Amino acid sequence: MEWPALAVIAIIVIMIFCFITEVIPIDTTALLVMTVLITTGLVTPLEGISGFANEATITILALFIIGAGLDNSGAINYLGKKLQRFFLNDEWVVISMVMVMVGFLSAFMNNTAIVVVFMPILLRISRVTDLSSNRLLMALSFAAMMGGATTVIGTSTNLLVSSLAAQNGLEEFKIFEFTGLGVILFLGFFIFMLAVGRFMIPKRKPDALVSSYQLKDFVTEFVVPASSPLVGKTLRSLPFFNDPDVTVIEVIREGKTLWLPRGNEVMRAHDTILIRGGVDDIVNIKSLQGLNFPKDFSQIDKDLESGELALAEVMVLPSSQIVGRKMKRIAFNEIYNAVPLAVKKKGGVYSGKQANYRPQIGDTILLETQKNNLTFLNNHKDLGVLYEHSRQIFDWRKIAFSFFVVTLVVLLAALDVVPILTSSLIGCVLMLISKSVSLQKAYQFVEWKVIFLLAGLLPLGIAIHNTGLDQIVGDAIYNLTRDWPVQLTISLLFLITVVLTSVISNQATAILLVPVAISLASDMGLAAKPFLLTVLFAASTSFITPIGYQTNTLIYGTGSFKFMDFIRVGGVLTLVIWLLASFLIPMFYL
């Protein structure tokens, strides 16, 4: 093996390490990989930047904007609201409806956006029925993944595999080319979830907001006695006022609430002052002399949602600008007109210094805000409100037009009138010129991390091919499986893809393994299509961990899941799909 191939292997190993540890954000890692490949001469400068002009990258960007138009019209919310009419206690009926509806929508739309919209709806159903939120949310995430695997435009990974096939001189996939196989696999998933999978998911219903966030550890209030030396002094004179991790949320005076008071507000006798801080801060505040603290939390609970104030649980979305930023650097009051009270991350409530915490995708934050601000939070692209507080008014013309655009995009590609790239660009432009979505909202809706990930890593696939590494790995697999039935070879490739997808992104996995799959097919003297589809289905259906796929990450903390829940249920489901795919792919395509 010559040094260029060894250099590419070293780059891949370092990239995987960065993806797993997240010492560097994955999109930054992708751009770093691109830069190193160009600098070392493993790809030419033009090859290095080709990812930005790749058909898959542009198509995915256009589909994001089409999805923004659908989301902005309220079309997905409308379908989700229809589901709420079936407030039934028959778990299998509700889960069946969720899987069918979400699976169908995910075949044509960004499945992350669908999960974000349906999560608060399913949480509400869980609250008013005896149904487990965990079972509903896991069925939601898995159905979105399986539905996305039924068409070329269902996921960015599908489009990427199709584009990489064309880049290697093969024919691109038609939009419904593998829909038949995808539907059969979806039916296998559907039967498994109803008959076995849902019973493997522990029944957990969402707790009340205050108790689930352990607010008694982070929020307290005190009454200023008439005899206190604080009477007549400003809030700024309080010893903790300038602590970045402590916030004076409210001053309740004579039945009226002063929300987020200024430091020059003068304290009066019998004022009730509500404070948020870290666990140690609250302990220290309660040790102050001359203040009256409540004996239990019930009164504080009432004060948090008194008058014009309300609590809102929000989720950090993939496109959020607050991801990775310290909480103290985020002007919650100025941007969202809200105060963060507590944070739930993967594994439970964050008990450290909130000011230094860096929110991640899927984290949930409990906010206190004004009731008239809830609609604003509902429509913000940084945060997804997990409880429906207000009634949404639907614009039927926008809904009808957005569905028309999606149908047009699908038909133009399905009937071979124009390529998928062209039909997607037509749909994108129609959404923008019709003002179904503004350019600013479209920018917010696009998952730029995915775009830069693809653009940065696509040159890695070129380097793998240029150095002959794809041939080396393909030959190694062929030599190992030379005497195996083709079903076992497909099975091994599926397993390798699933394992790799569980620790790095599915797009990165596709970029690494598509050249290998093509080389392996060539060694075996077989068509490349079944091997490409193996990579496609395996990379698009990563059920085993909550970090292997973005929809799993979103539901992880919200549903109070344990890591083992995904390994247990997702592991068995992966086994089912693995066996079905190993048998069906050769039968359909060889």
225-236 confidence digits (pLDDT tens): 888 888 888 888
Q: Render 363-414 in DSSP notation, one character per residue.
A: -EEEEEEEGGGHHHHHH-SSEEESS--SPPPP-HHHHHHHHHHHHHHHHHHH
pLDDT band of 18, cuts 50, 70, 90: confident
Going by C-alpha positions, the residue among 589, 213, 485 that lies closest to residue 368 is 213
More confident residue, 140 or 389: 140
**Range from 195-209, 250-264, 525-539 that averages highest in pLDDT:** 525-539
What does the alpha-carbon distance between residue 247 and residue 265 come to, in Å, rounded to a whole number? 14
Flag whether pLDDT at 390 surpasses 50: no
What pLDDT was estimated at residue 141?
92
What pLDDT, on the 0 to 100 scale, is given for residue 84?
62
Secondary structure (DSSP) of 15-58:
HHHHHHH-SS-HHHHHHHHHHHHHHTTSS-HHHHTGGGG-HHHH
Say whether pLDDT at 74 is over 80: no
Question: Is residue 384 scored above 60 in pLDDT?
Answer: yes
pTM: 0.78
CATH class of 207-393: alpha beta
User: Any idea of the CA torsion for 493, 497, 498, 499, to the nearest 10 degrees?
Assistant: 100
Q: Read off the pLDDT of each residue in 452-469 and give the average, rounded to a whole number.
A: 88
Give the pLDDT band (50/70/90) at residue 489: very high
pLDDT on residue 516: 92
Q: Give the pLDDT confidence of 415-438 residue by residue, as tens digits.
A: 888 888 999 999 999 999 988 888
Confidence of residue 583 (pLDDT cuts 50, 70, 90): very high
Cα–Cα distance, 351 to 344 (Å, whole number): 9
Per the structure block, which two tokens stand in for 2?
Answer: 């010559």
Q: Comparing 275-279, 497-501, 545-549, 580-584, which segment has the lowest mean pLDDT?
A: 545-549
**pLDDT at residue 335, as a whole number:** 86
pLDDT band at 389 (very low <50, low <70, confident <90, very high): very low
CB neighbours of 35 closer than 8 A, spacing ≥ 6?
Answer: 48
Give the C-alpha separation, 190 to 65, whole Å.
Answer: 30
Higher pLDDT, 374 or 454: 454
What pLDDT score does 173 carry? 92
Q: Report the pLDDT value the prediction gives residue 394, as an integer from 0 to 100.
A: 63
What is the reported pLDDT for 46? 92
pLDDT of residue 388: 47
- pLDDT greater at residue 278 or residue 552: 552
- Which carries the bigger pLDDT value, residue 355 or residue 570? 570
Question: 3-state DSSP call for residue 202?
Answer: coil
Choose between 494 and 565: higher pLDDT.
494
Q: Provide the pLDDT for residue 295.
A: 59
| Paired tokens of 261 | 């008071």
Residue 78, pLDDT above cutoff 50? yes
Contacts made by residues 449-453, CB under 8 angstroms, sequence distance 24+: 449/25, 449/26, 449/27, 449/318, 450/60, 450/156, 450/507, 451/57, 451/60, 451/61, 452/27, 452/30, 452/31, 453/26, 453/27, 453/30, 453/505, 453/507, 453/508
d(CA 396, CA 315) in angstroms, rounded, equals: 28
| Cα–Cα distance for residue pair 206/197, rounded to 1 Å | 20
> Lowest-confidence range among 382-391, 492-501, 551-560?
382-391
Average pLDDT estimate for 106-132: 79
Q: What is the predicted pLDDT for the residue at 178? A: 93
Residue 429 neighbours by CB under 8 Å, 6+ apart: none
- Give 3-state DSSP helix, strand, coil % of the chain, rounded to 5: 60, 10, 30
Confidence tier at 347 by pLDDT (50, 70, 90) = low
Residue 568 reports pLDDT greater than 60: yes
Per domain, the residue ranges of the chain are 3-206+402-589, 207-393
Dist CA 352 CA 369 (whole Å): 23
> For residue 85, what pLDDT band results from cuts at 50, 70 and 90?
low
Model pLDDT, residue 445: 79
Average pLDDT over residues 213-234: 81
Token reading at 65: 């904007």
Which CA distances in Å does 531 have to 124, 181, 409, 536, 541?
Answer: 42, 14, 28, 9, 16
Give yes or no for a contact between 102 and 140, defined as CB atoms under 8 angstroms apart: yes
Residue count of the chain, please give it: 590
**447/9 Cα distance (integer angstroms):** 28
Q: Which of residues 103 and 378 earns the better pLDDT score?
A: 103
Where does the pLDDT of residue 496 fall: very low under 50, low under 70, confident under 90, or very high at 90 and above?
very high
Residue 42's pLDDT band (boundaries 50, 70, 90)? very high
